[in-house]
Amino acid sequence: MSEQETKLMKKIADRKAVVSIVGLGYVGLPLALTFAESGFQVLGLDIDAEKVKKIAHRESYIGHIKSSRLKDAASLFSAATDFSLAQEADAILICVPTPLTKHRDPDLSFVEGTLQALLPHLRVGQLLSLESTTYPGTTEEVIRPPIEAKGLTIGQDFFLVYSPEREDPANPNFTTKTIPKVLGGSTASCARVGRELYSQVIDQVVIVSSTQAAELTKLLENIYRAVNIGLVNELKVVADSMGLDIHEVIRAAATKPFGFTPFYPGPGLGGHCIPIDPYYLTWKARAYGHNTRFIELAGDVNCRMPNYVVDKIASSLNQKAKPLKGSKVLLLGMAYKKNVEDMRESPSLEILRLLLDAGALVDYSDPHIPVLPRTRRSSFELKSVALTPEALQSYDAVALLTDHEAFSHDLILKHSPLLIDTRGVFQTGPTVTKA
């Protein structure tokens, strides 16, 4: 064990290490609060000055994180846009986005930009952990070489690990602290230091043999979900053609106590992981001469679901002798999952775009999103409509896209002239169409 490893391990164990979280979004903010709540001094770094300002005022900008947590952590948690402050940190945890390019290739520009901003301020005796989802080899091929070029020796005087985030926003059953943490180190000493850090704040740390193994672990978790959701989405289309309710079938199959795990269809995939992560592996696999046809097929099925929903809305209107063009359509839920305000990769945005392109007059209602914010891929000037009997009755069709608990099912069912249900919430009836 090197001198720097011994010193850093002791500093961590004594809770005297300063932890810097780079990227204060849905992953970084709860992670920063978890460290602060465990007694560590935490410095948040983000290029978004508005987030830094809100943290200074102890205001949460993420719906499921209460402002009281920021107030309680005030003495231990601060934030800044000045990346030179990273030299004061003993551990630096990178939690920035890893989206796709328009060609569905990995976009590591946020990771690479963050690393370049940090490089002048890295020093002997630090630990750096990448938490952003990425392809196997990123830590060793993208992160490690610039650090070594600076003259730092990985595993001796500087420590490098990959530990993928596993956040599930608004899940009441799991927190950052209780979700097991997978970790792989560039060297055995790196893994030891990483485990020492994360074990201070997370109940279980799972060590794997390398950073590549940890990177592939995260991809497997989300590809598993993407493929199975693709399966039930395809089965939904087939079942609908047969006049069967796929949700009834899934509920029945789920009574089998072994060999079956239920997955549920929807209007498409959303969020920062499942629609994106499979393509990180398919891109990397091509470098080894492999075509991941099974994974890509599931991705294609999931990507087609917004079109299926729009076709379903159009056909349902046609049965009422109304064309889609000129019809008033209300979309319920713009977030990618229920009970959150997160719109990243939400299929609702694609459904909105397709309906507008078809000439429909579209509004939306989402209690978590009062105004549609600008995203990297869309910009709609719309505000959420309040759900009242009169409002619902004024539309030709109402489509449930996100099943927020705040929605009154009785109100929606009673006052919607035509209801298209993409989540299996309502029983099929004269005014209800499954999609």
Please answer whether residues 56 and 77 qualify as being in contact, where contact means their C-beta atoms are separated by less than 8 angstroms. Answer: no
> Last residue of some domain: 162, 181, 209?
209
In a domain, 404, yes or no: yes
What is the secondary structure of 334-396 as a DSSP string? -SSSTT----TT-HHHHHHHHHHHTT-EEEEE-TT-SBPPP-SS-----BPPP--HHHHHT-S
Residues 160 and 258 in one domain: no
Contact partners, residue 387, CB within 8 Å, separation at least 6: 332, 365, 407, 408, 411, 412
Q: Give the three-state DSSP class for 393.
A: helix
In a domain, 214, yes or no: no
pLDDT at 206: 98
Total domain count, the chain: 2
- In the predicted model, is pLDDT for residue 420 greater than 90? yes
| pLDDT confidence band for 377 (50 / 70 / 90) | low
Polymer length of the chain: 435
Same domain for 187 and 271? no
Is residue 273 among the annotated active site residues? yes
What is the pLDDT at residue 338? Answer: 93
Instruction: Let me know if residue 261 belongs to a domain.
Output: yes
Domain C-terminal end among 148, 177, 209: 209
Lowest mean pLDDT among 75-79, 170-174, 223-227: 170-174
Shared domain check, 19 and 150: yes
User: Is residue 407 domain-resident?
Assistant: yes
Express each pLDDT in 78-122 by its tens digit. Answer: 999 999 999 999 999 999 999 999 888 999 999 999 999 999 999
Is the pLDDT at 244 greater than 90? The verdict is yes
CATH number at residue 82: 3.40.50.720
pLDDT at residue 375, rounded to an integer? 63
Shared domain for 296 and 416, answered yes or no, is yes
- Indicate whether 408 pLDDT > 80: yes
Based on the domain organization, do 249 and 167 belong to the same domain? no
User: What is 237-303 written as a DSSP string?
Assistant: HHHHHTT--HHHHHHHHTTSSSS-------S---SSSTTTHHHHHHHHHHTTT---HHHHHHHHHHH
Q: Average pLDDT of 220-237?
A: 96
Mean pLDDT confidence for 35-64: 97
- Is residue 50 in some structural domain? yes
The domain containing residue 177 runs over which residues?
A: 3-209
Which of 95, 190, 273, 303 is the catalytic position? 273
Domain shared by 149 and 290, yes or no: no
Q: In the predicted model, is pLDDT for residue 74 greater than 90?
A: yes
- Asked if 46 contacts 53 with a C-beta cutoff of 8 angstroms, the reply is no
For 271-328, the pLDDT digits (tens) are 777 888 899 999 999 999 999 999 999 999 999 999 999 999 999 999 999 999 999 9
Residue 296 exposure: Cα atoms within 13 Å on the Cβ side: 12
Cβ atoms of 239 and 249 within 8 Å: the answer is yes
Say yes or no: 411 and 328 in one domain.
yes
Among 33, 35, 3, 1, which residue's Cα sits nearest to residue 19? 35
What are residue 44's DSSP bridge partners? 21, 79
| Average pLDDT of the residues in 407-416 | 96
Note whether 274 and 158 are same-domain residues: no
Of 177, 209, 241, the residue that ends a domain is 209
Q: Quick check: is 216 in a domain?
A: no
The residue-averaged pLDDT of 32-52 equals 98
Lowest mean pLDDT among 154-158, 218-222, 342-346: 342-346
**Residue labelled with tokens 């055995």:** 188
Same domain membership, residue 236 and residue 162: no
The pLDDT of 347-369, averaged and rounded, is: 96
The arithmetic mean of pLDDT across residues 256-262, rounded, is 97
Q: Residue 219 falls within a domain, yes or no? A: no
Same domain, yes or no: 191 and 244: no
Q: How confident is the model at residue 378 (pLDDT cuts 50, 70, 90)?
A: low
Assigned domain for 61 exists = yes
Q: Is the dihedral of CA 7, 8, 11, 16 positive or negative?
A: positive
Find, among 159, 211, 48, 186, the residue nearest to 114 by Cα.
48
Q: Is residue 430 pLDDT above 80, yes or no?
A: no
Task: Examine the domain organization and report whether 172 and 310 are in the same domain.
Answer: no
Q: Is residue 197 domain-shared with residue 71, that is, in the same domain?
A: yes
